[in-house]
Amino acid sequence: MKKSVKFLAVCLAAAAMLSMSACNGGGASSGAASDSSNSGVGTSTLDAIKKNGFITMSTNAEFEPFEYKDGEKIVGIDLEISQKIADKLGVELKVNDVAFDSLIPEITSGKADFVAAGMTADDERRKNVDFSDSYFDAGQAVIVKKDGDIKAPKDLNGKKVGVQTGTTGDKYCTNEEGTSEIKVGSVERYNKGMDAVSDLIAGRIDAVVIDDFPAQKFVEKNSDKIAKLNDMLTSEQYAIAVKKGNTELVDLINETLKEMKDSGDLQKIFDKYLAQES
Ligand code: ARG
């Protein structure tokens, strides 16, 4: 009996400590995505970022031309946009490269201030993060073997299709809600789009469903073996994701995007990466 009373006391003390630190908003947490509700007590998210001298962006650098590795360096359209966001705050840009399906957790856990990853703003994701204004119109494209029998999206019915895990291409092909027009036979999931393309070339799958510009880049590099269908499966819009309720940061990102759109800088960046033969 005595023992269990003592145990209860320890539990209560631990619970009190836990709830105290929860009230502090995680206390020791760095500039990454601190809660904007702190703004009333002096340290807003943007103040914290400025004080730390850096802002953290997470991405998945397997998605040329939006983010990819050039040697050790991560480059691409989203990196250029992210740099402008950091410049606007006068801080350094730090980049985390993680699996695509870990990007939303990067934000919800506070490891990243924002995600720029050619990420489509959709309602399912909106349950967990907030999105900026959109900065690019995209869609899911289909890559096939050059001399194969898939000539149009409808030929995908019943076929074995490769996708990048957790993407909108994965969602479309998996078709959990039964709303997709095409009913593929089976879905193979890959961490990297490139691995799906390699399996297509090797004949292990029949097609790859991935966003149109990355698809174009993959085809450019293997144009003797693979091709992209003209018709797309979906139409989507890319946006930058932040922690839910972080209006201060989303406003700053929207301002940056607007300036880049108005000045023509954003278009110049697209032209530079989309025209580039790789
Ligand atoms: N637009 C798609 C989506 O939001 C694919 C994005 C993949 N991005 C990447 N960096 N791998 O699901």
Residue 51 has pLDDT above 50, yes or no: yes
DSSP state of 53: T
| pLDDT tens per residue across span 102-117 | 999 999 999 999 999 9
Q: 21-30, 68-77, 168-177, 220-229: which has the minimum mean pLDDT?
A: 21-30
Q: How far, CA to CA in Å, does 5 sit from each of 8, 11, 13, 140?
A: 5, 10, 12, 60
pLDDT by residue (tens digit) across 13-31? 555 454 444 433 333 344 4
Domains of the chain: 42-137+237-277 (3.40.190.10), 140-234 (3.40.190.10)
H or E stretch covering 249: helix 247-263
Give me the residues paired with residue 270 across strands: none
What token pair was written down for 248?
A: 């201060």
190 lines ligand 1 (CB under 6 A): no
**Of 155, 136, 96, nearest in space to 261 by CA:** 136
State whether the beta carbon of 58 lies less than 6 angstroms from ligand 1.
no
Give the pLDDT mean for 116-142: 98
Q: What pTM did the predictor assign?
A: 0.84
> How many angstroms does the Cα of residue 268 sit away from the middle of ligand 1?
22
Q: Is 234 in the pocket of ligand 1 (CB under 6 A)?
A: no
State whether the beta carbon of 100 lies less than 6 angstroms from ligand 1.
yes
* CA 29 – ligand 1 centroid, Å: 28
